[in-house]
Amino acid sequence: MADPAVKAVNLRKNYGDFVAVDGIDFEIQRGECFGFLGPNGAGKTTTMRMIYRASPVGSGSLLILGHEAAQGHRDRAIKGRIGVVPQEDNLDTELTLRENLQVFARFYGLSKAQAATRTDELLEFVQLREKADAKAFQLSGGMKRRALIARGLLGDPELLVLDEPTTGLDPQARINLWERLRDLKRKQATLILTTHYMDEAEQLCDRLVIMDKGKIVAQGAPKALIREHVSSHVVEVAVSAQSGRLQSNGRVETPGVSSDGVVASVSELTSMAKRHEQHHDRLLLYVDNGEEVVTRAAQLLPDAETLLRRSTLEDVFLKITGRGLIE
């Protein structure tokens, strides 16, 4: 097996007394898409910044494309082999799309002729050739994100870092961007991705880590994490519509109405689940026999709304940390 693209051992980063990254270990193999997930403040952005050399390593080892990043004098050698797609749209709005890319290409040492050729190739790749002479401010949000990917690829990087690349995009623009990233994967590019969209992580990432409070709390392939930490399906039962508000003790708060029958029904449903959670007026049942539980819920609570869905990475995170990924 080839050496990993990135390898961290006991990687740490402090800001004064605040520990942003707390002694984490991970490996990113060449040619895979690797994700960093976690709530705001979890340490994932700090980790990403150390990888693309925007922030120095605090302590520990961070090997990037064969270079030890803790030795700051190797930064130039590392940066020349990494492309970055930032979260913010920082294109020069007064330049055309073609000019944005050609100016940036000079930072990679490309000649004027090479920059022109490379720009045309990448605009074709991200399907923006017809917008080459449009000013950046004239582009839609999805076009700008694709333009940033093209800019990140100008130096033909061995490693592409993408910080929440589809934030704020409509569904059609997100899917279009996913296709460009899948094209890169087919070309054996190594991608590092942060995202708050769980469907995006499941679609694109070969492996990922979930971070919380500076630590890695889970890691592996998305499907493997779901199998390991939660059931295959979740049954959601909303009992508020005609039955009142579900309380933490399983009772339903409806003035003048006895809730004993609902309590018994909830108790039976939870006994059928591997695990359950109660959130205000919703009962979440983590099950492997979803259709059976849905049928029984309809019999026991005919006035309740019931939904059967596939378990997701967000369910994994809720189980591990008790918090949503965007908190």
- Using the predicted structure, report yes or no on whether residue 309 has a pLDDT greater than 70: yes
| Mean predicted confidence (pLDDT) in 315-320 | 84
- Average of pLDDT values for 95-115? 92
pLDDT tens sequence across 226-282: 989 989 999 999 875 444 444 444 444 433 334 567 778 888 999 999 888 887 778
Of residues 59, 42, 38, the one with CA closest to residue 50: 59
Residue 1 has what pLDDT?
57
Q: Is the confidence at residue 81, as pLDDT, over 50? A: yes
What was the pLDDT predicted at 92?
Answer: 94
Q: Could you tell me which residue, 214 or 326, shows the higher pLDDT?
A: 214
**Does residue 10 have a pLDDT over 90?**
yes
Cα–Cα distance, 119 to 236 (Å, whole number): 49
Read off φ and ψ for residue 225, nearest 5 degrees.
-65, -40
Q: Does position 148 have pLDDT exceeding 90, yes or no?
A: yes
Cα–Cα distance, 258 to 53 (Å, whole number): 63
Tell me the average pLDDT across 294-310: 90
Residue 280 token pair = 């205000």
Q: Is the pLDDT of residue 164 over 70?
A: yes
Q: What is the mean pLDDT of the chain?
A: 87
Q: Transcribe 44-85 into DSSP letters.
A: HHHHHHHHTTSS---EEEEEETTEETTSGGGHHHHHTTEEEE
State pLDDT tens for residues 113-136.
999 999 999 999 999 999 999 999
Q: State the Cα torsion 51-52-53-59 to the nearest 10°.
A: -10
Q: What is the pLDDT of residue 313?
A: 86
Reply yes or no on whether the pLDDT at 108 is more than 50.
Answer: yes
End-to-end CA distance of the chain: give it in Å, rounded. 38
What pLDDT band is residue 327 in, cutting at 50, 70 and 90?
very low
Q: How confident is the model at residue 73 (pLDDT cuts 50, 70, 90)?
A: low
pLDDT score recorded for residue 199: 86
pLDDT of res. 259: 59
The kind and range of the H/E element at 92 are none
Contact 276/284 with Cβ under 8 angstroms?
A: yes
